[in-house]
């Protein structure tokens, strides 16, 4: 089961901090506790930056339109965006088309250590929420600007993850020749947000030394170039253009997906001469060890087409489970071919607390509980867990406005005017 109607079911992941009701676990001081982040973000890239900072303990305040972040209501491939990238955050809904909404946004930004945004160039300046304006009043401010492109000829282009994958060589490398294909997840959005968070943390260290804040910029296109940089250097070194992954010249002969008994599939690899010997001995293919044309890794790579054809015939008699057991026993690399929905039941994730319970906040499944992947790291032996569920729209608006000095009467008036949600 991936969903539960019991919204009060406690989180079961290990190492969760206990800063909010209904989220249980062992309390620990998180490294960014006491840091206030105000994020004006949407979709994936900006929210990922905020997510990393929030999971590390920062108080992250998500400023949403009064209608809510659009990702609350996306279907299909976008249905998981909001609950995945907005846990451990507080929500305030503001109408920036009203003077009151803009004033509150500036007051919130003025209370922040970090402001993050990922809107089109120039938009934040319209509201006096750009780095130049905010840093004039608060020189210690760190401002994370997450864009499609760093400043330059492309800066004003509209960017999407798919756009930069196409123009940055990644779709070419992922697809078959003549059939560019985007990667199966939002790699640039997520990594671009992560690099933004890395920049913020570096700026925090520098601020601790100099007392000065700064603007940090991260961008989808430049992130994509970093991802394909190894293939750029491959060409620079070999003089041969990198082929798309399905047609690549592999660095290893045994490094492929095999269709085996009953049509099952499994990825198998041997990435050294020692692993090749172990593989042949473990499966009784010792005749291959005596062939001079297969003597070392590079020889096997040159013989790869005929060698793979031979191995596919030999391995077809085994089930995927049998091969997995053999490879595991002998310490050889292997992997079952797993679909995302099957990961909810992955024994390693369940045993290590890699998934944490969260409450869904939007749509037909509001109030139901499911699980989400945590950051892929541990600190002092503990995973960084869920302190706050993904917020309802404006769930903390009253609390945050009260902290800014607004009376309950003033807050109610703002609600009636539609300036806040």
CA atoms within 13 A on the CB side of 126: 9
- What is the distance in angstroms between the CA of the first residue and the CA of the last residue of the chain? 34
Q: Are 86 and 115 in contact (CB under 8 A)?
A: no
DSSP labels for 300-317?
HHHTHHHHHHHHHHHHTT
Q: Summarize pLDDT for 313-352 with one digit per residue, the tens.
A: 999 999 999 999 999 999 999 999 999 999 999 999 999 9
Predicted confidence band of residue 24 (pLDDT cuts 50, 70, 90): very low
Which pLDDT belongs to residue 27?
Answer: 60
Q: Summarize pLDDT for 63-80 with one digit per residue, the tens.
A: 999 999 999 999 999 999
Domains of the chain: 36-228+391-417 (3.40.50.10540), 250-340 (3.30.1540.10)
Which pLDDT belongs to residue 4?
Answer: 47
Give Dmax over CA atoms of the chain in angstroms: 87
Query: Which residues, including other chains, have CB under 8 Å from residue 119's CB and lie 6 or more apart?
Result: 40, 42
What tokens were used for 248?
A: 């690549």
Give backbone dihedrals phi and psi of 382, rounded to 5 degrees, phi first.
-120, 145
Q: Is 413 exposed, middle or buried (0-12, 13-18, 19+ CB in 10 A)?
A: middle
What tokens were used for 41?
A: 């973000």
Q: What share of the chain in percent tops pLDDT 70? A: 94
């Amino acid at each position: 089961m991936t969903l539960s109607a019991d919204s009060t079911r406690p989180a079961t992941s290990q190492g969760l901090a206990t800063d909010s009701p209904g989220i249980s676990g062992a309390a620990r001081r998180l490294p960014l506790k006491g840091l206030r982040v105000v994020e004006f973000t949407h979709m994936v890239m900006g929210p990922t930056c905020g997510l990393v900072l929030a999971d590390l303990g920062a108080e992250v305040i998500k400023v949403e339109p009064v209608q809510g972040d659009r990702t609350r209501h996306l279907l299909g491939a976008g249905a998981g965006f909001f609950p995945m990238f907005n846990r451990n955050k507080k929500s305030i809904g503001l109408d920036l088309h009203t003077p009151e909404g803009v004033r509150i946004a500036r007051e919130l930004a003025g209370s922040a250590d970090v402001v993050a945004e990922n809107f089109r160039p120039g938009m934040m300046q319209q509201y006096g929420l750009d780095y130049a304006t905010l840093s004039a009043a608060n020189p210690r401010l760190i401002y994370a600007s997450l864009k499609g492109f760093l400043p330059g000829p492309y800066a004003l282009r509209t960017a999407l993850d798919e756009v930069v994958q196409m123009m940055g060589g990644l779709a070419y490398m992922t697809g078959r020749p003549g059939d560019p294909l985007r990667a199966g997840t939002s790699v640039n959005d997520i990594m671009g947000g992560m690099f933004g968070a890395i920049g913020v943390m570096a700026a925090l260290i520098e601020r601790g030394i100099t007392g000065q804040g700064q603007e940090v910029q991260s961008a989808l296109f430049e992130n994509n170039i970093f991802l394909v940089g190894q293939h750029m250097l491959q060409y620079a070194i070999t003089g041969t253009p990198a082929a798309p992954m399905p047609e690549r010249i592999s660095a290893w002969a045994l490094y492929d997906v095999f269709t085996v008994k009953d049509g099952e599939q499994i990825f198998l690899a041997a990435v050294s001469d020692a692993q090749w010997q172990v593989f042949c001995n473990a499966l009784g293919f010792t005749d291959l060890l005596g062939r001079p044309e297969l003597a070392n890794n590079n020889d096997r790579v040159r013989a790869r087409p005929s060698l793979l054809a031979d191995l596919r015939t030999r391995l077809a008699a085994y089930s995927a489970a049998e091969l997995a057991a053999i490879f595991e026993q002998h310490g050889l690399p292997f992997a079952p071919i797993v679909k995302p929905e099957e990961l909810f039941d992955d024994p390693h994730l369940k045993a290590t607390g890699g998934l944490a319970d969260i409450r869904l906040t939007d749509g037909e499944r509001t109030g139901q509980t499911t699980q989400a992947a945590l950051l892929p790291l541990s600190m002092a032996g503990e995973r960084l867990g869920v302190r706050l569920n993904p917020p309802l729209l404006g769930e903390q608006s009253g609390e945050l406005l009260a902290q800014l000095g607004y009376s309950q009467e003033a807050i109610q008036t703002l609600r009636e005017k539609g300036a806040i949600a």
